[in-house]
Amino acid sequence: MGQKISPVKGTRDVLPGDTYLKKDDPWIRIGHLHLIEQAARELFPLYGYREARTPVLERTALFARGIGDATDIVAKEMYTFEDRDGTQVSMRPEGTASLVRAYVEHAVQQQEPDTKWWYAGPMFRHERQQRGRYRQFTQIGVEALGSPGPRVDAEQIEMLDRWLRALGIPFEMHVNTLGDALCRPAYRTALQEYLRAHSAELCEDCRKRTETNPIRVLDCKNPGCQEVAAGAPKMDRFLCAPCREHFEGLRAALGRLGVAHIVDPKLVRGLDYYTRTTYEAIATAGLGSQSTVAGGGRYDGLVRELGGGDVPGIGFAAGVERLALLVAQAGRELAVRPLVFFAPLGPEEEARADALALELRKAGIPAEVSFRRSNPGNQMKRADALGARFALVLGDAELKSGRAKLKELKSGAEHEVDLSDLPGALRRLQP
C-alpha cells in the first residue's frame, strides 16, 4: 500500500460541507463559502464594482516595488522562485499590486475616469500557521481608482459594513489616517527618534523596524512594544491641512451614511503603499488573535509607482476563511441534504425510483436513491445518516397502486402521496 501524502503546511482542503448549491431555494440550502461570495457578487455591483481576475503568478518586482521591500510580506513571506526562463516570480501575497498592474497594463485610465473592480481568489504568504491564518488563503477584495475621496472612501467602507452585516458577523469598523508624502516624513522622523530612545524596550524585530519601517512598530503585538507604542507621538499632530480635511470629510461622510466607526491611531497596516485613509473590520468575538476580517486603505501613489499616471485609489480585502469561521459560528445550518430518499425493494422498483428522483431533481428538489439492496429498516438508517427529511419505500404494492407513503424521518409521521405528482405533493408538505 502506498504511503499517505500530507498536504503542504498552511493549506486547507475545502470539502462540500463548506460549499453550496443554490441560494434562496427552499429545497437546497447554501454553504457558508458560497454564501459569503454570493453576497459579495450581489452587493458589490450595486456600488458599480465589476469583477476582474489577475494571475496567481507575478514578477517578484511587482510586489517588491508595490508592497515595499521592507514589509514582512515581501521580506519574509513570499513564495518566490526562479521560473524556467530565469525570471524571478512570486505567488501573489495579495491582490492590490496585481490589479493596479493590470490597470496600468491595459491603459484603463485612458478609457474611463473612474474604475471600480472587485476580485476573489487564493493568496499565498509563508506565515506561522494558526486558527484563521493560513499559507494559502482566499481574499475577496475591491479597488476603486480615479477619485481622491473622501466620499468614495466612505462609500466603500459603508459597502464593507453592509456586506459583513448581511453575513451576520459581529465586528467593529476601525478607521485612521496615515497622512501623505507631504506630512508623513516629519511624523516618521519624530517617531523614529522616539523609538530609538526606547530601543532597549523593543523586540528584536521592532529594533530593525525602527530603521526600516518605524510606523509598523505601532501595531506590534509584543506587550513591551505595545507599551512603548502607547507613549509614541501620534500622526494626528503632524497631519497637513489637506490630510486633516480629508479625514474630517471621511468621518462626516461615514456619519451621513450611518456607519458606526472607531478612530484608531494604531491602525497602520502592513503594506507600504497606504496614504491617508486606512480601515479595518475587526471581529468582536469568535476569532481569537486573527480577528481582522478585512483591511484596506487609500494608496494615492501606487499607480504612479507601478508606471501609470497620477491616479489615486482605495480598496480593501477580506479573508474568506475568517469570514467562514464566523458565519459557521453564527449557527447557520447550511449543509445540503437530500429531501427525499428512495428505498426501492427490487429491480423494477429501482428503475421507477431512478425515474422519480430524476423528476424531482428536474423540479429543483434534491433526492437520493439507494444503490444497495437491503431491508426497509436498513434503508431507513441510511436515509437518516444522509440527513434526508423523507424516506419513500417502493415495493410491488406501491408500483401497482401508484401511491406510496412519504415517511418523515424525525417524527415518524407518514403522508400518503400520489406518485404521478411527487413534486406537487412535496411542495405542499415543505414549509
How far apart CA 27 and CA 256 sit, in angstroms, is 40
In the complex, the smallest distance separating the C-beta of residue 322 from ligand HAM, rounded to whole angstroms, is: 5
**Length of the chain, please?**
431
In the complex, the smallest distance separating the C-beta of residue 30 from ligand HAM, rounded to whole angstroms, is: 21
In the complex, the smallest distance separating the C-beta of residue 397 from ligand HAM, rounded to whole angstroms, is: 57
134 binds ligand HAM (CB under 6 A): yes
Nearer to ligand HAM, 178 or 318 (CB): 318
Nearer to ligand HAM, 139 or 370 (CB): 139
Residue for grid cell 465589476: 50
137 to 176, contacts with ligand HAM by CB under 6 A?
Answer: 137, 139, 141, 143
Q: Is the peptide bond before 150 cis (omega within 30 degrees of 0)?
A: yes
Nearer to ligand HAM, 120 or 217 (CB): 120
Nearer to ligand HAM, 27 or 274 (CB): 274
292 to 351, contacts with ligand HAM by CB under 6 A?
Answer: 292-297, 315-319, 321-322
Contacts with ligand HAM, 98-127, as mask; x by CB under 6 A: ---------------------------x-x
Which span sits near ligand HAM by CB under 6 A: 45-53, 133-141, 253-261, 335-343? 133-141
**Pairing label, strands 136-145, 313-319:** antiparallel
Of positions 31, 66, 68, 95, contacts ligand HAM by CB under 6 A? 95
In the complex, the smallest distance separating the C-beta of residue 19 from ligand HAM, rounded to whole angstroms, is: 18
How far apart CA 231 and CA 286 sit, in angstroms, is 30
Of positions 41, 59, 126, 133, contacts ligand HAM by CB under 6 A? 133
In the complex, the smallest distance separating the C-beta of residue 258 from ligand HAM, rounded to whole angstroms, is: 23
Nearer to ligand HAM, 156 or 210 (CB): 156
In the complex, the smallest distance separating the C-beta of residue 302 from ligand HAM, rounded to whole angstroms, is: 9
- Cα-Cα-Cα-Cα torsion 103, 301, 314, 233, nearest 10 degrees, comes to 160
How far apart CA 196 and CA 232 sit, in angstroms, is 11
Nearer to ligand HAM, 100 or 356 (CB): 100
187 to 226, contacts with ligand HAM by CB under 6 A?
Answer: none
Residues making contact with ligand HAM (CB under 6 A): 94-96, 125, 127, 133-134, 137, 139, 141, 143, 270-271, 292-297, 315-319, 321-322
